[in-house]
Structure 1
Amino acid sequence: MMSVIAFVLTIVQVMGAPIDTKAVVAFSSGLTSTQYIMNGETVVYDRVFLNDHDGYDKYTGIFTCPVAGTYIFHVHAYSTNKDTVMWLNLLHNDQSLVSVSGYNSHTVGSNTVMLKLRKMDRVQIKAQDQMQFALFGLDTQVYSTFAGFMLYPDVSGPAMDSGAQIVG
């Protein structure tokens, strides 16, 4: 199986713009226990599978962009509630951009978005206000996940981390 870094580097090289691996940012996280979410709370994904460049904080559930660029984010959710609505939002700097929703017992939902981020921008998953539900998770069975990776760095200048350079 190809790693996220190898995948990103392959895409960028095919596009004709190889990058220095110091600029590669990627994270993947999941829930290892059922988490009860309500009233706009941030989902804190406690298992970190990958955290290249340390952008994801498993204690707050927030990704803070370490290198400016274009990113892809994925969210997948599995709710255990009966007869309740599961409604999550992906936020960029506290602005809701895309949602994941479902209704009924053991509902699943997912969404993907591509964003241009500046250094220190924040991305997180929050419950919709006025909603209360449970996201399912077990230590041995991770169903709800949040992941993101940089597709390519911003080459426009000052917003870029000084350690990240286009090469070639």
Structure 2
Amino acid sequence: MVNEIKKTEDNVISTLGDIKRAVSDFTDMFADMKENISNELLKGGDEIKRREGKLERPPIAFHANYLTDLVHDTTDEIVIFTKSVINEGTGYDTSTGIFTAPVGGLYQFSVHTCVFRGYYAFIGLVLDGKVIAGGSNYDKDSYTCSTVGAIVRVRSGEKVWVKSRSSSSNNQLYQDAMKMNTFSGVLVNN
């Protein structure tokens, strides 16, 4: 009987050892799973923060019109659109006529100009000193308008403006309620 009890005790101790090892293995496995899940959650949290940063970034868009100076007879003279219809992100300066990109990204710009009959306009859309689009207007018999545009990648802090590309005294823009000179831009993607 003592042998039977001893045998049963050994079986119980052996089984308890097996259970202890199994619990230890499960504990290690759960610890690894917990660490993996924590790492994945951290990665997901970082991705969410990155995306939220993009969503929280205010829209960048401006549309300006009205010229106080219609005669542009000097080459490289900046055409200043003095009234801001919209200026989301406050990148456009109505006193200088220059848009400074608050954030880098892909932008679309458009310039619309009108001229007196018999006068010319040679304009350029400029990104940090380089003309990226240009156009001209002329009609001897009537007032005429034209539009120039571009889609470009702009770095944060870079400047975009409109300039005169000719030094003729016949360069004169025109505006009234029906024919408006405008300069606009919008951040398409960053």
TM-score, with structure 2 as normaliser: 0.65
1:127 to 152, 156, 164: 164
The one of 86, 93, 108 equivalent to 1:72 is 108
1:49 corresponds to which of 65, 73, 85: 85
RMSD after superposition: 2.0
**2:29 paired residue number:** none
After the TM superposition, which residues 23-34 of structure 1 pair with which residues of structure 2 at under 5 Å, given as runs?
23-31=58-66, 33=68
2: CA distance, partners of 1:35 / 1:101: 15
User: As a proportion of its length, which structure holds more helix?
Assistant: 2
1:14-37 CA distance string (max 9 Å, x none): xxx894142420000011556211
Q: Residue 137 of structure 1 aligns with which residue?
A: 175
Answering whether residue 125 of structure 2 is matched by residue 87 of structure 1, we say no
Q: Any unmatched runs of 5+ in structure 2? A: 1-50
Structure 1 stretches (4+) deviating beyond 4 angstroms?
A: none
Distance 2:112 2:152 in 1: 17
- The structure 2 residue matched to 1:103, chosen from 126, 133, 138, is 138
Q: What are the ranges of 5 or more consecutive residues in structure 1 without an aligned counterpart?
A: 1-16, 154-168
Higher relative contact order (CA 8 A, sep 6+): 1
Report the equivalent of 2:183: 146
- Count of aligned pairs: 135
SS class of match (2:72): strand
Residue number in structure 2 paired with 1:158: none
- Note the alpha carbon deviations across 1:122-162, whole angstroms, 9 max, x for none: 10000003234222224x55611000000011xxxxxxxxx
